[in-house]
Chains A and B, each alone.
Chain A
Amino acid sequence: MEENSFVKDMTKQEPSKPKRWQNYSAENSPQAWLYLLPALIIIGVFNVFPLIRTFIMSMQTGKTLNSMHFGGFKNFEIILRDPKFHIAIFNTVTYAIVVVPVGLIISMLIATTIYTKIKNKTVFETIFFIPYLTSVIAIGIVFRYLFNGDYGFINYFLSWFGIGPINFLDDPNMSITTLIIFGIWSGLAFNIIILLSGLRNINENYYKVADMFGATKMEQFKRITLPQMIPIITFLSMVNFINAFKVYAQVYSLFGGKAGIANSATTGVFYIFNKFYVDFKYGQGMAAAVILFLLILTFTFIQNFVLKRISR
């Protein structure tokens, strides 16, 4: 069927084009699907199908996976009334709105300094990029050790300045702060690398002209660097926001497989994981997943819109 209409298309088009040899027919070839097939099967089974299934299951109730039946919006009602879910969303949003801007500002400071003032750029670039590649889990275990209330290095360090000791890990009020510190630390790497590549792409002549007219470095930063970097900053804040909304492995490793003391650091994905894998409330877990998905989409669009407005 498809091939037929395809052939028709070709015959329709060919007479109208004067240089037939340019439309070499092997190019207009449905055999492309053959090459796409392996990828499309995997993507279909493990990307498209589960997405649809998530939405379907969010509407289903049932004790086991094989006895699920339609339950309308019941799962959503339960989830939205669940105080644990409120905490999870509150934690996730708090984490996102602190980590993203703070992380971006610190990265911007580091990247611009490296770019403008430091000679051994590669050395610093190499160092700052390391956390992007190393396992969050392994480093989370290290941070757990560093944050330890008794023998942790961070409290020892803070004590030099007369601060603390702070109970980073076992105080419900501190869990999110601890998580945020770890989140900022591990997020800098990607930001710095992308920002540096952006800075390298700014035409140097802009700065030369600015220097000729006697613009200060600060003015140059505000008038040249920042406007040129807006697209990259927009991109980074979007990627960061999405990642912040999905924070999970950081919590898991930092608090030893739990969501912090008394579940004080439950995040959205952690909540889904527990509903699904610990409580076996599949439908409710998927309802939470749908809500998280929609939240991420909405935030992305709002942010895109706001940042576009600002850049004008």
Chain B
Amino acid sequence: MERFNNAVSKLFVVIMAIITLFPFIYMLLASLMTFQEATSIPPKLFPAHPQFKNYAEALEEAPFVQYFINTIFVSVVSTFGTLVTSILSAFALVKLNFKGKNMLLLGMAALLMVPYEVTVFTNFQTIAQLGLINTYTALIIPSLASIFYTFYLKEFLSSIPISYYKAAKVDGCSDLEFITRILIPLSKPALFTMSILSFISGWNSFLWPILVTNEPEMRLLSNGLTSFATESGSNVHLQMAASTLSVVPILILYLIFRKQIIRGVVRSGIKG
């Protein structure tokens, strides 16, 4: 009985793993099919001859190269901004004592409870009133700081003994020197994980870019992808090629930095 149970539950996990992977595999396969193959009834699993030109065609039909450049630029700059603001604020929250610190921490924790979707629309208005629609500034500015990552980093920094800070102070080290010469080198792993996670969420961001951009040249990958999907109609093979293009970079990042990413999500998940 126990052995039977074992077999059944293993089979279940294997089937679920297949279900999890299947959309990705099928996306890849269909991206290499001809239009006839992709829409044949019954559906085909494998293309007879891989059509690599689908990718070239998809890239031609919509400015995906521009989307890529935009996405990478926006994600990198917001990640960098988040890193800087989070390091500074996490340092202040962990190593310094000041009046109102507890109130501030409480307020920030309360803000974490506010769903992004509740504030995103009024943020759009702020941006619209500043006349920043269709600019990189609009895409980047709200994600230049993050309470979430500040708390994530704070958790990590609190494991660095306060005596390091005191010793540095005694040796006449300024706060900024302490941050750049001691704090950052010591918290490299956390900063690294943070950057990957922040980059990925920038890469996948959707609601904000769709609100603040309406010119095709300013789109990011995900909203470029949805507009391509509606415009290209039934050209599913091209849609699959475009989806593959936007998913594969993240998959490669994941396969290289699997450990750091999973550890980072678990850490921030459980404590956040």
Contact = CB atoms under 8 A, between A and B. Distances in A.
Question: Real complex partners, A and B?
Answer: yes
Interface of A: 2, 5-6, 9, 24, 26-33, 35-36, 38-43, 45-51, 53-54, 57, 65, 106, 109-110, 113-114, 117-118, 124-139, 141-146, 148, 150-153, 156, 159, 185, 188-190, 193-194, 197-198, 217, 232, 235, 239, 242, 245-246, 248-249, 252-253, 256-257, 269, 272-273, 276-277, 282, 285-286, 289-290, 292-293, 296-297, 300
Contact of A129 (B114, B223, B262): B262
A161 to B, nearest CB: 14
22 contacts: A5-B99, A6-B98, A32-B96, A42-B142, A42-B145, A46-B119, A46-B123, A50-B120, A117-B9, A128-B17, A129-B265, A135-B206, A135-B247, A139-B23, A141-B243, A143-B23, A145-B26, A189-B20, A193-B269, A198-B270, A289-B117, A296-B115
Contact of A276 (B104, B115, B121): B121
Contact of A65 (B128, B211, B230): B128
B230 A31 contact: no
B125 interface: yes
Interface string B208-239: 00010000000001110111011000001001
Contact of A27 (B97, B118, B123): B97
A154 to B, nearest CB: 9
B111 interface: yes
A125 B258 CA distance: 10
A26 B175 CA distance: 10
A98 B208 CA distance: 28
Residue among A36, A114, A256, A289 with max Cβ neighbours from chain B (10 Å): A36
- Main SS class of interface, B: helix
A257 B262 CA distance: 31
5 tightest A-B CB contacts, nearest first: A42-B145, A50-B122, A50-B119, A35-B92, A32-B92
- Main SS class of interface, A: helix
A47 B165 CA distance: 31
A134 B122 contact: no
A47 B111 contact: yes
Contacts of A53: 122, 125-126
A153 B204 contact: no
Given A134-B24, A135-B203, A197-B270, 15 more contacts: A6-B98, A24-B166, A33-B98, A42-B144, A45-B126, A46-B141, A48-B111, A50-B120, A109-B12, A136-B206, A185-B19, A246-B115, A257-B229, A293-B114, A293-B118
B247 A139 contact: yes
Interface residues of B, number: 95
Interface of B: 2, 6, 9-10, 12-13, 16-17, 19-21, 23-24, 26-27, 30, 38-43, 84-86, 88-89, 91-93, 95-99, 101, 104, 108, 111, 113-126, 128-129, 141-142, 144-145, 147, 150, 165-166, 169, 175, 200, 203-204, 206-207, 211, 221-223, 225-227, 229-230, 236, 239-240, 243, 246-247, 250-251, 254, 258, 261-262, 265-266, 269-270
A156 B26 CA distance: 14
Given A35-B92, A110-B16, A193-B265, A43 B111 contact: yes
Contact of B41 (A42, A151, A189): A151
A159 B41 CA distance: 12
A283 to B, nearest CB: 11
Contacts of B26: 142, 145-146, 153
A5 B100 CA distance: 12
Contact of A188 (B20, B21, B92): B20
B115 A29 contact: no
A198 B111 CA distance: 27
Given A30-B99, A109-B9, A257-B226, A146 B117 contact: no
B247 to A, nearest CB: 5
Given A2-B99, A42-B142, A297-B113, A113 B10 contact: yes
Contacts of A41: 145
A292 B128 CA distance: 24
A257 B230 contact: yes
A142 B23 contact: yes
B2 A47 contact: no
Contact of A253 (B20, B92, B108, B226): B226
A293 B113 CA distance: 10
A249 B250 contact: no
Contact of A141 (B24, B128, B200, B239): B239
Contact of A28 (B98, B204, B266): B98
Contacts of B117: 246, 248, 269, 272, 289, 292
Contacts of B129: 65
Contacts of A110: 12-13, 16
Contact of A117 (B10, B16, B92): B10
B132 to A, nearest CB: 12
A155 B129 CA distance: 48
Contacts of B99: 2, 5-6, 9, 30
Contacts of B20: 127-128, 130-131, 185, 188-189
Contacts of A286: 121-122
Contacts of B27: 138-139, 142
Contact of B243 (A42, A46, A139): A139
Contacts of B165: 27
